[in-house]
Amino acid sequence: MKKKKPLIIRGGFFVDFLIFICYDYFMKTKLLYKGKSKDVYDLGDGNYLFQFKDDVTGNADGVIDPGANQVIGKIEGVGKENLRLTKFFYELLNKKGFNTHFVSADVDKGQMVVRPAVMFGKGIEVIVRLRATGSFVRRYGDHINDGDKLDYYVELNLKNDDRGDPFITKEGLEFLKIMTGDEYDVLVDLAKDICKVVEEESGKVGLELWDIKFEFGKVDGKIALVDEISGGCMRCFKGEAAVSAMDIAKLMVER
């Protein structure tokens, strides 16, 4: 029995060539994960591709909150702006010698190519706080006011939307064998150092960084910064006014 030949739409050499390229690309590219702000694909060449989206997270009242787990809508163009700032910071951090998973980015396509990383457990969020706000005040509001200064206070949360990304201690991470004590110490120092880079760049455009969320994994056996570094991962203020994720990107990149 003869095998059926793949359908070819005849439209000249150029059209046939485009069809071949698209067919080859999608046969090699495999969707691995659909996230709140981006989808992740295996490119089939040893690297992954992040496709950034325009979804934004917030609370039940419809207020945008980068620390929330619920997608509440879309803002046209926010995905590309998040990628633009992410590209800016990754290129800066790589130049400064930080270990990251970043390879390249195409802002017009909303795509970033990265090296695969081995995550700690099912993923860890690392929050560096320079001022008290958000969930920190909701938890500790009896003892601190919104906007009070903090000295690069670091918190680690387990990534788990269903459980509200629970806070976890160094001892808890060791006990659950998610990471060693030494790995925790390296990760916390890295988070503080990278936060200071972001804080410095924010200050150059008149922004004050209040807090920022990072993710780390292991690339080639070494702890590395992964995921995005966008306006959606941080809170910045200009005077007494909070600055939106899109405006953070525009201010920092278009100076």
Buried b (16+ CB within 10 A) or exposed e, 190-209: bbeebbeebbebbeebebeb
* Model pLDDT, residue 193: 98
Third-level CATH fold of 118-253: D-amino Acid Aminotransferase; Chain A, domain 1 (3.30.470)
Which pTM does this prediction carry? 0.84
- C-beta separation of 227 from 40 below 8 A: no
| 6 phi and psi angles, rounded to 5 deg | -65, 145
* Model pLDDT, residue 19: 41
Architecture category of domain 16-114 in CATH: 2-Layer Sandwich (3.30)
Report the chain (255 residues): mean pLDDT per 10 consecutive residues: 50 46 54 88 95 79 65 81 96 98 97 97 97 95 97 96 93 98 98 98 97 97 96 94 92 86
User: In the chain, what are the domain boundaries?
Assistant: 16-114, 118-253
* Model pLDDT, residue 55: 79
